[in-house]
Structure 1
Amino acid sequence: MRIDLHAHSTASDGTLTPAELVAAGAEAGLDVLAITDHDTTAGWAPAEEARPAGLALVRGAELSCRWYGHSPAIPLHLLAYLFDPTAPDLVAELARVRRSREERARRIVDRLRADEVDVTWDEVHGYAAGGTVGRPHIARALIRAGLVVDTDEAFEDRWLGERYRVPKEDTDVFAAVRLVRDAGGVPVFAHPKATKRGKVVPDSLIVDLATAGLFGLEADHEAHSPAEREHVRGLAADLGLVVTGSSDFHGSHKQVKLGAYTTGQGAYDTIVAAASGVPVVGP
């Protein structure tokens, strides 16, 4: 089986609609695809409705988290699979984070415009197509203005990486693990050792998260070097966590393709068996 457990649609910062995403998953020869938009389940229903026969759909989300045991706090992402989308505490927290994300985007646009950069809130909001507004949508505006050539350049320090960086209020990672577990979901740490994306957390935190209910680690990811992948695999083995691999597909925002990295069937079956929030849709 070809299993990709990390992909984004226009419900957050991808460029394919949920319907287009599941169609692309089938075209890429996947057997299983997870929709994991940032801090939202808005893409679940349209993805399920458009799911091609033969493709199993895992409903999930990627939660924006921080570890506050370090100063400054370190951002990290938690993949949450097959949780109850009506769990009130988790619903409230996701809504709070989405509001913070949009407020940050507005502030970034205001700072860019104060420096006479040719972007507008209406343009950026339009790129979100009704989904959660994020920095990739601002990156699209910078590309359109001819100021950067691609999203990677937009996230460099002279743009969104540092000069126009504005913090947002993320979820404490220990609270996130608890919320996902309480909602019957399965939490997996996304790209935990991707140093190319910025500062990463120490192994000691992952040990503590495993004690708190973390279920797995995403090892095979385009932002991990071969050495980082092996390190994550060894850490997961030591802690008894499942290991996943995923594309982290965003459409044209990134070069990586669906199915570029995949999860083994044993790990997938273990995740599905551990979930009690919602079932996998399809075969």
Structure 2
Amino acid sequence: MLEIDGISKRFGPVQALQDVTFAVRPGEIFGFVGSNGAGKTTTMRIVLGVLEADAGEVRWKDAPIDADMRRRIGYMPEERGLYPKMKVGDQLEYLARLHGVEPAEARASVERWTTRLGVDARRGDEVQKLSLGNQQRVQLSAALVHDPEVLVLDEPFSGLDPTAVEVMNSVLRDKADSGVPVIFSSHQLDLVERLCDRVGIISGGRMVAVGTVAELRTDSTERFDVVGPPPAAWAHALPGVTVVSVEGTRTRVELTDGASDQDVLRAALAAGPVHEFRRYQPPLTDLYRDVVTSGAAA
């Protein structure tokens, strides 16, 4: 298990991270989300040893991560870290060798991953001649070519078309299924919700929520969708009930102060036929907004 335990980091007057703690389990895909400047990249750079934490510790299998272990991590930075004038195949083989892979195995790995990621025909091209999407595929190949024990990916889906997104989804799921912990950051919350086993939300350098999407929903405000009666009018007089939105004949209400969903249903039925009554399951986008907003208010 990859453990980030109590990490803090300051840059001059700016407290970039404050007691950041979470873990990524073997075989798990962990989505790390937050706004620009929230602390995602700083956390990842500390895991990789690019930055040193002021406090806290990063552990792998209960032991502090050292230089030898970091060679066994696959890292994909947000800023492309490839040599632009070097050919794709030569560069990937060189990077594999830097991680201790033998020459024949490195060449086989380059062939395997460029084929899997759809850039095998570009192995003889300079990186700078590739499209941004293909550069991103090569960057992921570079993170995988040495068969890492842990994957740390910073915005891996940036610039990818839908087909490439599905290919990368498949690759990350396969790596996780083989027991590799995978952590990636992304602003594409719909993708995070679909792909990740658990999610960590960071805001202002602090972890404000960690859990599955279902667990985050458990902590969210109780809301219901009612379809049928005249829009919203029936709900306004109910104590502890707030009308959140009205779209056509659909009214979304929020329950507070011990209000009962059965009271809502009875009031709606009294106003007219009810065609649909169900608990609203907020997407990760809504959960993220609510968690960050409540964290800022606290």
**Fold match (TM-score > 0.5):** no
- Relative to total residues, which structure has the larger strand share, 1 or 2? 2
Comparing both chains, which one has the higher relative contact order based on Cα–Cα distances under 8 Å and sequence gaps of 6 or more? 1
Of structures 1 and 2, the larger Rg is shown by 2
- Relative to total residues, which structure has the larger helix share, 1 or 2? 1
The TM-score, its normalising length taken from structure 1, stands at: 0.32
